Amino acid sequence: MEYNSKKWRGTAALLVLAFVLYYAANNLELVLSLLGKVWGFSFPLVMGGIMAFVLNIPMSFIERKLWPNTNNPKLQALRRPISLLGAFVFIFAVLSAVVALVLPELMDAIQLLMKEIPKFLVWLEQWVTDNADMFPSLQTWLESLTINWQEVGKNIFNAVSTGAVGVVDSTVSAVMGIFNGTINLMVSLIFSIYILFGKEKLSMQICATLRAFLPEKTYRVILHVCQVAYNSFSNYVAGQCTEAVILGCLCALGMTLLRMPYAPMVGAMVGVTALIPIVGAFIGASVGIFMILMVNFWQAVGFVVFLIILQQVEGNLIYPRVVGASVGLPALWVLAAVTIGGGLGGIVGMVFSVPTASTCYILLKESVQKRNQVKLGKIQPVEQNVPLPKPSKKEQ
């Protein structure tokens, strides 16, 4: 019987994988606990990677526009820092503009609500008093109601004492949470800066490592999948941000023309929440409906009608052309991806579902086209076009 080292290595790997899965299934709580600790340690690095990916989009755009044809080494050395600083300034300016539009109007709405609630309670009490004969059972219950004020005072004192301890514990927990969140944010920010400054070198190191330990065919497949995923996610971020700006501006402009209150604030809220696919605009609009309702009931009804029309225009014209075209995913699969992603991971699942589905769709489409062309004899199989390198005598 001829000894085949490659076959035995594959068998050994399958046995080890089966043992690991068996052990994990029998110690699920321990495995989940270890995974939770690993996620807690690696969370700032993951967030740093996400921040680097988002910052790389405006940074690359600025970098392409800065001295594209220069041969001056000093200008070439300054291109990356200036581009990164410009990306930070751009994102900070956008966030500051949203806060400046939303926060003052929101504070005014809260003050108006606090002013109107006592008036509403007084009106409700007066209405109940004037119309008590309409509700005999309520009147009988109010007349038979006896209150032990001593017992009420004792309960209030106990509730305040218990609540004071809870407030102290909550305050300490909140302070510790803010401190840990600040530290994680700083670590993520520093990590993202390191990634962006050395992204070419990091990419070369990852490619060299994969090529050294994987077969050439597997390496090329992984490289192609990563390239498709990167294009899908970057196009999705750019398209989603463009769509959010368009929708927010249209909402604010329409509300201004219809003379509705809180137009800049509601437009900004709708634009920001529109970053969540399909349903995001309704989340921001719900706040606008509530705030307009406090001013005028019929204007709130008009805003609902206007929002439904705007959402139809956005869903049928803007979103498929801006986002669907940018990620190469048909509108039907966009809706399916958002539905499945929302069911599995909530809002985070909705955000990541569309570019993930776009990546799978493009890879599946390429595979189907290649297989059909091979079967029809239009192209040769990939294994014949790209032969693997032959091992040297030392490797044999």
Q: Give me the residue label for tokens 């108006």.
A: 112
Inform me whether the pLDDT recorded for 135 exceeds 70: no
Is it the case that residue 16 has pLDDT exceeding 50?
A: yes
CA-based nearest residue to 235, from 367, 362, 46, 88: 362
Question: Does 124 have pLDDT greater than 60?
Answer: yes
Q: How far is CA 139 from the centre of its chain?
A: 53
What is the reported pLDDT for 386? 41
∠ CA 165-167-168, nearest 5°, is 65
Question: Cα separation of 181 and 184, whole Å?
Answer: 5
pLDDT for 259: 85
Give the three-class secondary structure for 164.
Answer: helix
Share of the chain above pLDDT 90, in %: 0
pLDDT at 105 over 80: no
**Opening angle at CA 236, ends 64 and 352, nearest 5:** 135
Tell me what the pLDDT averaged over the chain comes to.
76
Pair of tokens at residue 147 = 């209150």
What are the b/e assignments for 32-41, b being 16+ CB within 10 Å? eeeeeeeeee
Backbone angles phi, psi at 214, to 5 degrees: -120, 155
> Which comes out higher in pLDDT, residue 302 or 395?
302
Confidence of residue 389 (pLDDT cuts 50, 70, 90): very low
Provide the whole-model pTM. Answer: 0.65
Residue 214 in 3-state DSSP?
coil
